[in-house]
Chains A and B, each alone.
Chain A
Amino acid sequence: MSNTTITAITMPKWGLSMVEGKVIEWLVEENADVAVGDEILDIETEKIANTFEALDGGVLRRKVAEADQTLPIGALLGVLAEPDTADADIDAFIEDFQASYVPPEIVEGEEAAISYEWADIDDYKIRYLRMGEGDRNIVLVHGFGGDLDRWLFTQGPLSASANVYALDLPGHGQSTKTVGDGSVAAMASIVTKFMDHIGVEHAHLIGHSLGGAVAIQTAIADPDKVDALSLIATAGIGTEINGTYINGFVEAESRREIKPLLQQLVGDPSLINRNLIDDILKYKRLDGVTEALRTIASEFLDGDRQTVDLRHHLASVSIPVRVIWGSADQIIPAGHADNLPDNVSVKVIEGFGHLVHVEAASEVNKLLQG
């Protein structure tokens, strides 16, 4: 019998810095039918835990990796095949795979070797990461308190057919920690100047949360620069917002304070692991961050209300606009996606939280590429 119907499930590479992942648990039993996109196992990386969705379909004939096992990217996790494939063929496939598998060389300090680039814009040093090649340009704008790493599961897939740029807004990530007046308009102007700096005349802007508001504002201020808008759990098109989360995030100093807050960002709180918390605390400890976040928050927030309303502009733009939301968003309610103008296409994904682009990465990526 031929091996052609036997497919390997291998450890994915999520983000540039991932070198290995830990299997948390299998979500399907052996001999279950698996369709493309089915959630098959939970994997934890240095950055975040996530659910791995099947890239191929078939019957899960063998779980090779066990729970708690840490394996390098590309390592064999399981085997998909037809129900009638002989066990001996499965065994042979595994043996061949393991014999020929060479784990990627782990270079000491590989993370530092990621080629972040820097743009001098006004008085700011703006960090960005460029991936991919193509005729189209995409610029990713993260949300409040985030950074370009938040696009870990987005930038790679989108870069298959486009130039994809992710930047750290002022006050965020490794960009300068001053923010001027901290307004959405000021950040939109930074995005415009950033595009000028990198020589991108126009791009598809994808913004998450506050980054969505920044993207809309950029399209209002410089309509020629924006080909399309994709707004994920966006700020700026409704009133309600979880001010307790925002202010709590700004003021939190310890793991104990910040963990329950971060868990509000996702439908599945177990995704918020130690490394993600450590990374966010490391960012928040940097001089100037707390003040920067306070300033930005005061510009778009008044208690539990947003003070920036760009909703009415969406009807007047002539470019494609897509709005994506997780139904279980605890920061900005998914209800803001209701009753949008007809030119806006809307998708609310059931069961996911504010970080829907991380939790339901492949579904969101499909929408973003569509």
Chain B
Amino acid sequence: MARKILYQDAINEALDQEMARDDSIIVMGEDVVGGTGANGEMDAWGGVLGVTKGLYGKYGDRIMDSPISESALVGAAVGAAATGMRPVCELMFIDFMGVCFDQIYNQAAKFRYMFGGKAKTPVVIRTMYGAGFRAAAQHSQCLYNIFTHVPGLKVVMPSSPYDAKGLLIQAIRDDDPVIFCEHKALYATEGDVPEESYAIPFGEANIVREGDDVTIVALGRMVRFAAKAADTLAADGIDCEIIDPRTTSPLDEDTILESVENTGRLVVVDEANPRCSMATDIASLVAQKGFGYLQAPIEMVTAPHTPVPFSGALEDLYIPSPEKIESAVRKTADYGN
């Protein structure tokens, strides 16, 4: 039965329902419980933003705090996955990938291929990304594109509470390593979520809005910004089709190409830095496989090629906004006129 819950509660519910279903699912991370070994209460935090709160009370030792040792933590999750468990490991901020990346891209991602198809590594790495919290350059990045580059990894970016629950359940049931990217500014957003368990297959883009004039491909939080821009543009008679790929690996190329075939115009919105990004990846996809459909140059709305600034005045400029999306859409819509 559908009811409205928060994105972060959808994630918690997915973990809860899956842990209840399957004893081999364990949750591990820094302060995912909070309070281990201390004199006060256990489950003091339930994750730095409270996303895993309450699971300790239900599942005890199947949710465990880790020392701040991302390499050992992520490597242990990978090793446990290769030996029969289904760990959901929390890498608190995606920015911390730098201190554990080897265990992800050299180990987890490659086991199956290197070992001739004999390994199965069903690990989920949940990680929070994105700017907007005045958290500065080392706690605000959008590095999903780096994971997307690596064969063997699947990369998931839910943009709504419904998608967060269904994609996380799919991630947990999936037998391949999955990087599950949660935008920190989406945790408090609300949406319809069924109480029952459900899994959304990977590689199935969501057509968030139908329109015939301009295709907007947007990721994560940018889906909401694109929707806002599309509302404004609709009032001026420009109908945008918004496509949320949901997963960047696998990527639903067909849905993007079919949409551009219909609209002839493409705006890609990606909160990441612009070079070697999902924006360039999707632009190149359409340039290569949908060149004949295009009636205007592809527009990209991204962050600039800078680190994420701290000052609110600068950070607000840094993040792609509905206004920037609107202006990119107008530019492509007006092309040739």
- Chain A interface (Cβ < 8 Å from any Cβ of B): 68, 109, 111-112, 116, 127, 174, 177, 253-256, 273-274, 282, 285-287
Contacts and interface: CB of A to CB of B under 8 A. Distances in A.
A31 to B, nearest CB: 27
Contacts of B200: 285
Most B CB contacts (10 A, CB to CB) among A177, A253, A273 go to A253
Given A255-B207, A274-B210, A177 B196 contact: yes
B196 A255 contact: no
Contacts of A285: 166, 198-201
A255 B2 contact: no
Given A255-B204, A256-B254, A286 B4 contact: no
B1 interface: yes
Given A112-B4, A253-B201, A254-B201, A287 B207 contact: no
Interface string B1-29: 11110000000000000000000000000
Interface in B93-124: none
A112 B197 contact: no
Contacts of B201: 253-254, 285
Most A CB contacts (10 A, CB to CB) among B1, B198, B199, B201 go to B198
Given A111-B2, A285-B198, A285-B201, 13 more contacts: A111-B192, A116-B1, A127-B1, A174-B1, A253-B201, A254-B201, A255-B255, A274-B207, A282-B162, A286-B194, A286-B198, A287-B196, A287-B197
Contact of A109 (B1, B4, B198): B4
A177 B197 CA distance: 11
Nearest to B239: A68
A112 B198 contact: no
Contacts of A256: 254-255
Nearest to A174: B1
A4 B334 CA distance: 48
Contact of B204 (A112, A177, A253, A273): A253
A254 B207 CA distance: 12
Given A174-B1, A254-B201, A282 B194 contact: yes
B3 to A, nearest CB: 6
A109 B162 CA distance: 15
B198 A287 contact: yes
Most B CB contacts (10 A, CB to CB) among A255, A285, A287 go to A285
Contacts of A174: 1
A256 to B, nearest CB: 7
Contacts of A116: 1
Interface in B147-197: 162, 166, 192, 194, 196-197
A291 to B, nearest CB: 13
B107 to A, nearest CB: 30
Contacts of B166: 285
Nearest to B2: A112
Contacts of A255: 204, 207, 255
